[in-house]
Each structure stands twice: as structure tokens, then as C-alpha cells.
Structure 1
């Protein structure tokens, strides 16, 4: 369990620095370009572990499997993560980080329609806590300086589509393996984004040298190692335990944003974070209880 705890902490810390690092890098690189670079590099870094997993499980992937991985990659990279980068650039890093942490709430909703998971009263309570936290974070009656309606909308689209990616991935992960599915979908999604960039005449490597340290940190540490530690936590425990990292992140990310970027945490921010932490805790607790009930049956 000590190993699992370490993996969860490292995941939460690395993901907690994500929005700050992306905001810094985004000032010198195009959003399309940065999203492509971090996921193509991150996907390649995870590839050796993916191939090892495929070999160990003797997994055979056919054309339909690669088609589904392409579908997952498109949802995640050119859609969710691109909107995520847009959102980070049009809002405070602290706000963006906390809003992204509500993606499990969207997962619950999509799971109701795309799987056999039912949306019950307990999940409704979790959703209401999350919405309440979101309202206080955004403060629509008086939007905090640095946040914009466009940025908030982009972050909500990113969180919602990442929830969709999570649910869609659950339908195939048992066959493909968690490392294989993530690595290959990242690479395929990045290649689709590259084609879009070329069609739009977006820069691919221009300016990377001037921002090499930030790009390498985001790609290797945040995306590559961050997801590796996350999946290692799941592998050595379960998905519910691994998701604790997203429970810790809302407490870490705003502090880093204050220290590095000088973000201001106002009274509504603290309340919003508290409500979202409550929603995250209830979500994890409910999933653990449901998991135990299934085992008993």
C-alpha cells in the first residue's frame, strides 16, 4: 500500500502542476502545437509499457480494435485536450485545474447512457455538490479577473469530453489493457491533430527550442510519468483508489498557481474547492461501496 500511496501522490503532484506549466508554455507556443507535442511524446514514452502489457496478456488487436483506439484518441486529443489547452489560456490556472477535476461527474452521466451503470440518488447528490462547487469557482455573478466566459466554456467542454473518453475507454480496456489503450490512443489522436494542424498551417516545431524545458516537463513528466504513475496506482490497487489522485489535485493545483503565477484565491475559490472536494470524496466513497457490494454478490 505504501507503493500505491506514493504513486497516487506523484500523480496528484504532477497533474497539479499541469495547468501552470501549460499556461507558461502556451505563452510561447500555439495551443494546437503544444497539445500535439505533449501527447505524441507522452504516448511514445508509454509505448514500451504498452507493448510489454500486450505481450504479457497475449492481446491480439485487429483492424476494428485500432479503429476504436482511433475513435478514443480523437475524443481525447483533438477534442478534449485541445479545448483543455484553450480553457487554460483563457482562464486562471487555479480555476481551470479545479473545473477539470469535475470530469468524473460527466463520467457518471455518460455511463448511465453508455453502460449498465445506473444514475441513482447517491450520484445525483454528488452531481449537485459538484455543480454547487462549479458555480462558486466560476462566480458567474461577478467573474474573477483572469477568468473569461470563453475560458470557462472551453474547460467545461474539456471536462465533459474527457468524461466521455473515460466511459468509452471502459468498454474496451479489459481486452486491450490500460497501458496499451492509453498509449496507442494518445499516439493516434496526436497524429489526427497533426493532420489538422498541417491543413490549418499551424506550426509544429517552430519555437520549441526556445521553450524546450517547459515542453519537456509537460511531455515527459506531466503527461508521460503522470499517466504512468496513475496507471501504476490502479494496477496495484483498483480504479477507485487510483482516482484519489483527482481528489487531491484540487488542493494542490491552486497553491502552485498562486506561487508560480500569482493567482489570487478569493473567498469563492475556497468554497468552490471545498464543494468539489466533497463531491470527489462522495464519488470515490460510493464507488468503493458499490464495488464491495458487487464482490459480495
Structure 2
């Protein structure tokens, strides 16, 4: 098997794992409170990534460049603590399938933040794609049925959408740290996020007994932490060594597909026709946004 096909298989595996996060989180969130689960997930992910980060750090030639600790703390606060906190709180109120559809707008919202914050070119195609994705999210909101898996779907979807915006801000901020080794940066950011989440988890558990998990639930927590928040990042970075980032971004469209399909198949999530239409509109907007060409500057 050549390196390109290996990278493609790794990306499919990573996106499938990230797509299954919605079902695993929804399945366990009634046992472990949302912020506590977020802390457990990122803490396990940090412990998995830490030895790889230390190895990469030691291999750097001396003198080693200083790490951007302030930026890493900011990214940990926005892209880990706040992101996972809002994501888990959102899934507490909405279904896994609806949450997956809302999260499918991440590429478009990331492009919007990049335009507003980083000053990236706002081409007509990019603006049209972003606008179409926003319309799709609103359609999903309007087609959110209330049931046992979604006690307050509109509130839950709004919270998930807030996490989408947080991820867009985090991604734009991360572009300023592109000079830092990806493994070292990821471990540092996730570790910082775990520190920020710890006091909220302690407050959430105050006056309560510790959650009692069965074997399957522990496996889900470990898979969320070691897999989705740990090894998946490493395999994603490895895949990017043999495939273009723009091509890798296309595979991200698997995440909502896996999320919706697994939510319906595993949890029996009901999903309305309007929500499905909204998801299709969001994905169409993403394709338009991702396919928009960035105008060349004089320097290029």
C-alpha cells in the first residue's frame, strides 16, 4: 500500500471516529455530567499525547525556540474548555443526530471568522457559501423535534452552534502558531484545556457522589479521550504528511454523515425532513466555501 492510500484510510478512520463522538457522548452524558465528561475526555487525551510531545520536543535542535505559552493557554480556553463544555451541554439537551447536523457548519463558520478576524479575502463564493450554511443551520433549528433524546432541542442546538463558533475562533488563532510543532502544540493546548475544565468539573460534582460507570461506559470514555481527543489528532497529522490539507478537508464531510447515521441506528434518534434538508444545505454551503479560490496578491 502506498503512502497516499494509507493517508486516505487514516483520514477515513479519524473522521469516522470523530463522527461517532456524538453517539458516545449522548449515551454517557446522563451518567457523567457534561463538564465533568469534558474534563475526563481531554485529560485522557492529554495523557495519551504527552509522551509523543515530549519525544518531539527532545528531538528539536538546541537552542529550542520558546513555546508560545500565552497563545496555548488562550487556545486551550477557547478551543478545548469552552468548545467541549458547550458541545457537551448542547448534547445534553439535543439529540446526537441534530448536534451532528449543526456541527457540520464548522468549515463555513471557520471561514467566516477568518474573514472577520484575520482579514482573509471575502470572495463572492465564500460569502455565498457561508450564507447558505447559516440558512441551513436555521432550517435545522426549525426542524428540531422534542422527544426523550432531545428535551430542549433548540437550546441544545444553539449551544452546539456556539461551540462551532468557538472552534472557528480557535482555528483562526491556531494559524498564528503554525510555526510550532503540531504534536507539541496540540498536547499543550489540550493540557491547558484540561486545567481550565477541572474547577468546573469539581463544582459540577460538588455535593454529588462520583459517577458509577459500567464497562461499556468506561470504554466510551476512554475512546472519547484516548481515541477522539488523543490518537486521532496524531493520525490526522500523519495523514497530512502525504495528502494536501485542502483534500483532507473534504473528508470532514464524513463527520455529520456518520453522526446522523449512528444517532438514528444506535440511539433511535427521530429526525425531521426539515432537519435533513437543513443538513444538505449546510454541506452545500461548505462545498461552495471550500471551493472558493483565494485571489492572488501582488506578492504571490
TM range (shorter): 0.7 to 0.9
Deviations 1:22-71 (A, max 9, x none): 011101101111100111111221223323333444483537x1121111
CA RMSD of aligned residues (A): 2.5
Alignment of 1:157-196 (within 5 A): 157-174=162-179, 176-196=180-200
Aligned with residue 78 of structure 2, among 71, 75, 82: 75
- The Cα shift of 1:149 comes to 2.2
Contact 2:133 2:282 in 1 (8 A): yes
Contact 2:23 2:263 in 1 (8 A): yes
Aligned with residue 214 of structure 1, among 211, 215, 220: 220
Contact 2:144 2:271 in 1 (8 A): no
- The Cα shift of 1:144 comes to 1.4
- The Cα shift of 1:99 comes to 0.9
Aligned to 1:197: 201
The answer for unaligned runs of 5 or more in structure 1 is none
Q: Per the alignment, in what secondary structure is the counterpart of residue 235 of structure 1?
A: coil
Aligned with residue 280 of structure 2, among 274, 277, 280: 274
Deviations 1:139-165 (A, max 9, x none): 1xx631225221122111100011101
Aligned with residue 102 of structure 2, among 99, 102, 109: 99
Aligned to 2:16: 13
The answer for unaligned runs of 5 or more in structure 2 is none
**Cα distance between partner residues in 2 of 1:57 and 1:208:** 43
Q: Which moved more, 1:225-234 or 1:213-222?
A: 225-234
Contact 1:133 1:274 in 2 (8 A): yes
**Cα distance between partner residues in 2 of 1:271 and 1:284:** 20
Normalising to structure 1: TM-score of the pair?
Answer: 0.88
- The Cα shift of 1:209 comes to 4.2
- In structure 2, relative to structure 1, the CA distance for the partners of 1:87 and 1:260 (3 Å cut) is same
Contact 1:23 1:93 in 2 (8 A): yes
- The Cα shift of 1:104 comes to 2.0
Alignment of 1:1-297 (within 5 A): 1-58=4-61, 60=64, 62=66, 65-139=68-142, 143-145=144-146, 146=150, 148-174=153-179, 176-198=180-202, 201-202=205-206, 206-207=210-211, 209-210=213-214, 211-286=217-292, 289-290=293-294, 297=300
Aligned residue pairs total: 289
Normalising to structure 2: TM-score of the pair?
Answer: 0.87
Contact 1:208 1:215 in 2 (8 A): no
- The Cα shift of 1:116 comes to 4.1
- In structure 2, relative to structure 1, the CA distance for the partners of 1:237 and 1:50 (3 Å cut) is farther
**Cα distance between partner residues in 1 of 2:204 and 2:89:** 17
Q: Per the alignment, in what secondary structure is the counterpart of residue 17 of structure 1?
A: helix
Contact 2:103 2:160 in 1 (8 A): yes
Q: Which moved more, 1:153-162 or 1:262-271?
A: 262-271
Bigger share in helix: 1
**Cα distance between partner residues in 1 of 2:274 and 2:33:** 31
- The Cα shift of 1:259 comes to 0.8
